Structure 1
């Protein structure tokens, strides 16, 4: 739940910072459509700042203006926005808080890819109207009040089914409340989606000075005061070298080029030489220079040396790409079967995780571990049941015979076989999931080894217990103890060697079962929220978007890695920097490619879209260039190399080969590059109804298309 600013806060100092939701709900329609609403308050964001307070204040008005502009654009295109009929609405105790139920038929039309359907999300700003708005004039026609609302609650993020109802905060009283009837006529009420402001809220909270001073002071201070702080840190640096031989021996197996190796080594060296202070490292990754591979190897090294790392990117797609490549590196270079220390977080509706990524995706991990942690059927229950069977199997059987009513009774062999089969397979499945999804550091080395030994012994016991001639000897197996010698047991009871062997295995299993029952500390819960928190706190390599990093709470995380950092507004970068344990940040990007999207011309002129990567670069911060490009034919790469990279890029051997001279059109026209006319393309809304797509345009490779757009954008600006 996202609470309303000051009303959910306990300290007076925090109440002075207004709630962003309250501000937005306080805007009138004229305010939203007023392009000059914040014009007088806008100033160009400088490259250097005198103090933290002025730094944070420089982003407040641009953030509000950008949000106003996004709302304005949505209202102007309201006929194309997703909407839904409201089937029921009821006012709660607060005058402007309502329970609301959206029409099921309207929402189910989403499956048919109908753009007008709307599935709410927490953080959505919606506009309410008694008619389905086709034009902005429909909103206030005939004196209708302009009412917008904020979706503040709506189900649990671990639930797969949509919530039965949502909670909204409205900008005013809804006269046709609950849609029952008025003058005996049914009232229709519609909700149209305008925008989601969750990211805006998270940034806004970071701009609160009273909150910022209690967060990661070191990194934020360097952001604010660079290059002054950087100069001081540089003078204070000591030659605190890392074990370069160990790192280099690991890197040498990764098939990286010199610039990639140097970038990684320099970043790791900076981390270790700044033990007493925080710092930033910049990796400059032009197109096709192996930026994602460099990041994945860097993260693999961080995992090898147990250095907690949070990896962020601006979009879900970018996060999934890095996480996927990282998994590939792990599986190609490591024999560590456990992935419990690696976690991918994100909204299940928007992230659309599939394939191998499900192995590390938080939502899937919670569902998997839920079956292992529940009290009545989970790991501890299975351990206790099997321990009880191995220790008291014969006495349990005698009680079974006493309680047995008329009818055939099971033999002791059938009884124990049935009990064992009811417990062992589930215990094995449960422990295999635990060993894969829970970090070894949480399980502990001794418990990890005991679990492996127990599973091997139980499998051996299971196979031998199926022996055809063992039935008459089961009693001796379950009564055998270590005080008896092999010879005495054999002579007295005429046991076979198989029976004696099984008796010994049973005793050893019982020891391991009891050791695990006393020392293994894993959750015993049926709460998905508790398991989610356990997974988050246990991980040491975490992937998420920059915005969703606000949900991360993990004291192990010391390093922040931001991919596509040049496409990120600097104020967005404050979200992950709230983590107080971070002491170093590595920004990977290229300011010569597309910058962050800014809709407001006023904000663009104020440098609101400028990234921290670009600002630090402009101030002379050292950048580690990845200088070998593997994607473009030399006749294509020559243009960006000369125009944007000062001829510093080298063409890799693979792009110089004749096979790399791909042709998209017949004949010799245009050589290695071709042009496509996509004037017949048609824009449509994506599956979530949030963004537009052109189904014809993907004939161009996405990365090539992004590069071309980036270069054209920069040329137009210059």
Structure 2
């Protein structure tokens, strides 16, 4: 509740630039609930883009959000409400929502349009859906808590026993836990060894996956931790573990705290599936907010909402796969009857046109098709539908529910469709003779399978006989397939969703979204394994949502406690360790972790400092990053090698207009100049390049985004992403430019001193990392940045901005612009204040300020 209060305060502070939408209609439903209809969201450059979602906290106001103080002026003008149902709920249209407010209020409607007479706006503050879900999970008296063996294991783990054992063998806690873990491993079975042999795993990845897989084979519950520092193949390791779980037909839920992390794992797993004939799309499903996950392309193959839409089409009795099979059988068995119906219908239409004297219809439309043309036209149309439905069944229907016979018949049917299509191309004129030929009982005894038919066709005998025998085998396969297919009687989205989630082997979603699975009864086979990616970024309280899923016996947590933890806004909550993860807590108690100890991302010059200072030199560089070809010089000069600290001492930190965040316009000028140079070189050399611009302060991020604008959006070979450190966790780019912002005489660096935040910033680059900052300020900080500046100096990687003449000129121009802007602001301030004795010295004060920088 304290964190919810802090979220509310933070949202109200940013009220003047909050998203909002206008409400057109308002209908009182029951008690203090109202159904609202909002305008469609506008373009992204407008703030009028809000789309109501479940558990959104909003303010209903008669004015657009300008300043928070406006809400309390002129009597009642606003109320706080919560969205209980959003437009994606299914029962509501996209622009509708149900809102609950503390008290009823009056409103006037237009009697003709039923729309509000006066403007009313819904202003978005924040969402409490995850907090609601956590609250429901924190019920110690529930059956989920009492019956969960994994929860007991998590709660009762104590490092005292481990420390006691360590004192006898004179080893550290981690060594003891690792030994205990290895001693419990079973000998890997053939499935595991066969799966491993296809992947290029290093020893640490192999051992981590083997230990997890072996533990899952045991009857007792297990909890495993995999420590994945930056670039060590954490996502690859997860996807390979999940592939192994698919081989073992083990039901797995994979979660992460963010949509980005879940989508990354899903994308990597999907690539593995598509590169192997052993795995199937239908065994994997991803669900969540489609817009926030930015689902498109190949991911639609496994996204639940898209899969349900395809399966619904397949299940429909009058238009689905069974209807399609019946129609195809009918056209081959009763082509002459259907053709006669077509003729009769055509004649009726002709009579109708004569009566109406319809001269607008051209003669071409009155042409009657021959039976061969009719048959081929109908076959072509139905074959497309049949192919579509069979492919849906193969890709989306749970593979465990498809019998081997049905599977074989579907594959044979697809091949026979192509054979018939080719044969009809050459002998369709004789289609009407097929009915007069021997039926299936007198088919040659040597044609009993698709392979026999293919061999017979290859022999080059009578092509008409090929068509006859292909048609008979096709009819046989269709009739068998119709009998072997088990189509559920489900015609609603929700029931099909539940059907998929009950049978699929691998489910991917955010930790919060996994709450949905608590409402799905796993009738056939319970969930068994929980895998959590970015586990060190997931609040322990939030991890209860997937941990308490019925059936979960084995848990694998994958993360890095030296990167950013979960975001906590309240100081009280932070001091109470509300943001601490289960991964971090267990690590602090000495729980065994498998360390992934080879990094494949960073050039050795980039990895050197974080590996030695954050990971105690326990990580080595992979052969790919140590090869000479990995070293890239995108710009000329020693300053722009793989790693450099560029000292911009002319910078000055200032607060943004809201007074909440810092920015440094001079560093912005340096960043923009370097990005411009990188772009020119990329275009000149014709090489693709991705650039990430990172800063710890949102105001600096916004200023850089504004300066860059959309200049580089049209160039596919050159991509620039500008984000905060928090927004870059888990990402990587060819080049990272890090703007530190802080520039003062005291050495104050604020939360820049946070080691986890610094670690994330320094480990995003693959080939080049350029740090832009004030070396003097950072050296005085008595933080990790003092070490960074000293290390760069000792390695010959510390450069002055004047070492690059073009860069220095860009900085000088920015300094002049900044001073001119400040002079104008000071002058305008003095004019507003009125002339006085102090005002006459404004120019000298400005000059003095410049000298004292």
Q: Same fold (TM over 0.5)?
A: yes
Structure 1 counterpart of 2:531, from 556, 561, 567 = 561
Structure 1 counterpart of 2:494, from 523, 529, 532 = 529
Q: Offset of 1:116 from its aligned partner?
A: 4.2
Q: Show the counterpart of 1:287.
A: 230
Q: Show the counterpart of 1:70.
A: 7
For residues 227-269 of structure 1, the C-alpha deviation after alignment (integer angstroms, 9 at most, x for no partner) is 38998x9999996725345423421331111111111111112
Q: Show the counterpart of 2:221.
A: 278
CA distance in 2, matches of 1:261, 1:242: 14
5+ residue gaps in structure 1?
Answer: 1-63, 488-495, 683-690
Residue 363 in structure 1 maps to residue 305 in structure 2? yes
Contact 1:157–1:347 (CA<8 Å) still a contact in 2?
Answer: no
Q: 583-592 or 429-438: which moved more?
A: 429-438
Aligned to 1:167, the other structure's residue is in SS state strand
1:618–1:180 CA distance, 2 compared to 1 (3 A): farther
Q: 609-618 or 188-197: which moved more?
A: 188-197
Q: Show the counterpart of 1:114.
A: 46
Contact 2:529–2:555 (CA<8 Å) still a contact in 1?
Answer: yes
Q: Offset of 1:675 from its aligned partner?
A: 4.3
CA distance in 1, matches of 2:76, 2:563: 46
Q: 236-245 or 536-545: which moved more?
A: 236-245
Q: Show the counterpart of 2:26.
A: 89
Q: Show the counterpart of 2:809.
A: none
Residue 148 in structure 1 maps to residue 77 in structure 2? no
For residues 430-486 of structure 1, the C-alpha deviation after alignment (integer angstroms, 9 at most, x for no partner) is 212321222332222210101111222233233223334752762445662414779
1:319–1:215 CA distance, 2 compared to 1 (3 A): farther
Contact 2:225–2:592 (CA<8 Å) still a contact in 1?
Answer: yes
CA distance in 2, matches of 1:630, 1:88: 56
CA distance in 2, matches of 1:382, 1:651: 57
Structure 2 counterpart of 1:434, from 377, 393, 397 = 393
CA distance in 2, matches of 1:525, 1:336: 29
Aligned to 2:199, the other structure's residue is in SS state coil
Q: Show the counterpart of 1:59.
A: none
Q: Show the counterpart of 1:711.
A: 755
Contact 1:311–1:541 (CA<8 Å) still a contact in 2?
Answer: yes
Q: Show the counterpart of 2:580.
A: 610
CA distance in 1, matches of 2:445, 2:249: 48
Q: Show the counterpart of 1:385.
A: 327
Q: Show the counterpart of 2:99.
A: 168
Contact 2:71–2:78 (CA<8 Å) still a contact in 1?
Answer: yes
Residue 480 in structure 1 maps to residue 439 in structure 2? yes
Contact 1:394–1:479 (CA<8 Å) still a contact in 2?
Answer: no
Residue 260 in structure 1 maps to residue 230 in structure 2? no
Q: Show the counterpart of 2:715.
A: none
Q: Show the counterpart of 2:547.
A: 577
1:269–1:419 CA distance, 2 compared to 1 (3 A): same
CA distance in 1, matches of 2:7, 2:420: 66
CA distance in 2, matches of 1:634, 1:142: 64
Structure 1 counterpart of 2:664, from 679, 690, 701 = 679
For residues 266-313 of structure 1, the C-alpha deviation after alignment (integer angstroms, 9 at most, x for no partner) is 11122223x1x3221000011111111111111111112222211111
Aligned to 1:655, the other structure's residue is in SS state helix
1:295–1:230 CA distance, 2 compared to 1 (3 A): farther
Structure 1 counterpart of 2:242, from 299, 304, 315 = 299
Contact 1:81–1:116 (CA<8 Å) still a contact in 2?
Answer: no
5+ residue gaps in structure 2?
Answer: 163-176, 351-366, 447-460, 649-662, 670-697, 709-719, 741-751, 760-781, 785-853
1:185–1:217 CA distance, 2 compared to 1 (3 A): closer
Residue 221 in structure 1 maps to residue 180 in structure 2? no
Aligned to 2:54, the other structure's residue is in SS state coil
For residues 548-590 of structure 1, the C-alpha deviation after alignment (integer angstroms, 9 at most, x for no partner) is 1112335453111111000110011011123212211100001
CA distance in 2, matches of 1:324, 1:296: 9
Contact 1:310–1:560 (CA<8 Å) still a contact in 2?
Answer: yes
Structure 1 counterpart of 2:422, from 447, 463, 469 = 463
CA distance in 2, matches of 1:569, 1:77: 25
Q: Radius of gyration: which is bigger?
A: 2
Aligned to 1:466, the other structure's residue is in SS state helix
For residues 352-384 of structure 1, the C-alpha deviation after alignment (integer angstroms, 9 at most, x for no partner) is 112322221222223333333333221010111
Counting only pairs closer than 5 Å after superposition, residues 379-418 of structure 1 correspond to structure 2 as 379-394=321-336, 411-418=370-377
For residues 504-523 of structure 1, the C-alpha deviation after alignment (integer angstroms, 9 at most, x for no partner) is 33332222222222220134
Counting only pairs closer than 5 Å after superposition, residues 510-659 of structure 1 correspond to structure 2 as 510-523=475-488, 525-552=490-517, 553=520, 554=522, 555-659=525-629
Contact 1:595–1:611 (CA<8 Å) still a contact in 2?
Answer: yes
Q: Show the counterpart of 1:38.
A: none
Contact 1:285–1:626 (CA<8 Å) still a contact in 2?
Answer: yes
Q: Show the counterpart of 1:129.
A: 61
1:486–1:410 CA distance, 2 compared to 1 (3 A): farther
For residues 586-642 of structure 1, the C-alpha deviation after alignment (integer angstroms, 9 at most, x for no partner) is 000010111110000000000000000000111111100011122334344333333
Q: 410-419 or 296-305: which moved more?
A: 410-419
Residue 100 in structure 1 maps to residue 31 in structure 2? no
CA distance in 2, matches of 1:243, 1:426: 45
Q: Show the counterpart of 2:412.
A: 453
Q: How many residues align?
A: 628
Q: Show the counterpart of 1:193.
A: 124
Query: 1 or 2 for the larger relative contact order (CA 8 Å, sep ≥6)?
Result: 1
Contact 1:90–1:177 (CA<8 Å) still a contact in 2?
Answer: no
For residues 642-678 of structure 1, the C-alpha deviation after alignment (integer angstroms, 9 at most, x for no partner) is 3332221122233334444445765334853234778
Q: Offset of 1:173 from its aligned partner?
A: 1.5
Q: Offset of 1:145 from its aligned partner?
A: 7.0
Q: Offset of 1:139 from its aligned partner?
A: 2.3
CA distance in 1, matches of 2:24, 2:146: 44
1:591–1:470 CA distance, 2 compared to 1 (3 A): same
CA distance in 2, matches of 1:664, 1:401: 72
CA distance in 2, matches of 1:293, 1:345: 21
Q: Offset of 1:403 from its aligned partner?
A: 8.2
1:236–1:82 CA distance, 2 compared to 1 (3 A): closer
Q: Offset of 1:410 from its aligned partner?
A: 5.8
Structure 1 counterpart of 2:721, from 698, 712, 715 = 698
Residue 139 in structure 1 maps to residue 66 in structure 2? no
CA RMSD of aligned residues (A): 3.7
Q: Offset of 1:319 from its aligned partner?
A: 1.0
1:575–1:185 CA distance, 2 compared to 1 (3 A): closer
CA distance in 2, matches of 1:177, 1:272: 66
Aligned to 1:467, the other structure's residue is in SS state helix
Q: 453-462 or 253-262: which moved more?
A: 453-462
Q: 513-522 or 595-604: which moved more?
A: 513-522
Aligned to 1:134, the other structure's residue is in SS state coil
Q: Show the counterpart of 1:339.
A: 281
1:208–1:556 CA distance, 2 compared to 1 (3 A): closer
Structure 2 counterpart of 1:425, from 384, 403, 408 = 384
Aligned to 2:644, the other structure's residue is in SS state coil
Q: Offset of 1:65 from its aligned partner?
A: 0.5
Q: Offset of 1:389 from its aligned partner?
A: 3.1
Q: 379-388 or 533-542: which moved more?
A: 533-542
Contact 2:24–2:116 (CA<8 Å) still a contact in 1?
Answer: no
Aligned to 1:195, the other structure's residue is in SS state strand
CA distance in 2, matches of 1:155, 1:699: 32
Aligned to 1:698, the other structure's residue is in SS state strand
CA distance in 1, matches of 2:79, 2:110: 15
Q: Show the counterpart of 2:656.
A: none
For residues 58-78 of structure 1, the C-alpha deviation after alignment (integer angstroms, 9 at most, x for no partner) is xxxxxx100110011111221
Aligned to 1:646, the other structure's residue is in SS state coil
